[in-house]
Amino acid sequence: MNNLNSILLEGTTVSVGPLLGPIAGTAIVFFIESMWRQEAHQFEIHATGKLAETMAATLRSDQSVRVVGSVRQQKSGAEKEKGGIFIMAEHIEFRPTK
C-alpha cells in the first residue's frame, strides 16, 4: 500500500487572514466551510510563497474555492495533544465574487 496524503476540498471561504512573514517566507491562513450530508464543516487552510501572495490579493470571504493539498499536523506541543490538523494548499481554484 502506498502512503498517499492528498486531499481535494470544495467550499466557501469563511474568513481570510492577513499575509504573514517576510516575502521569502510568506504565508496566509484562511478557513473554508464545506457542506456534507447537511452538515457544515470548517477547515483551516495554509498557503505559502507565491500562492499565499496571490490568495491575499484576490481571495475574499464568502467566495467559492477548490483546494488541492495535503493534511498536516500542528507543530506546537499543545496543538498536537488536541490533534490539531490543517490542510497545506498546493493548488487553489476560486470563482470571482459577484
Domains and CATH numbers, the chain: 7-87 (2.40.50.140)
Which residues does the chain have with pLDDT short of 70?
Answer: 1-2, 22-25, 76-83, 96-98
The backbone torsions φ and ψ at residue 6, rounded to the nearest 5 degrees and listed phi first, read: -140, 145
pTM above 0.85, yes or no: no
> For residue 59, which of 98, 95, 11, 35 has the smallest C-alpha distance?
95
Residue type, 11: G
- The pLDDT score that the predictor gives to residue 17 is 86
Residue percentage of the chain with pLDDT more than 90: 23
Beta carbons within 10 angstroms of residue 19's beta carbon: 16
Gap between the Cα atoms of 97 and 45, Å rounded: 19
The backbone torsions φ and ψ at residue 37, rounded to the nearest 5 degrees and listed phi first, read: 50, 50
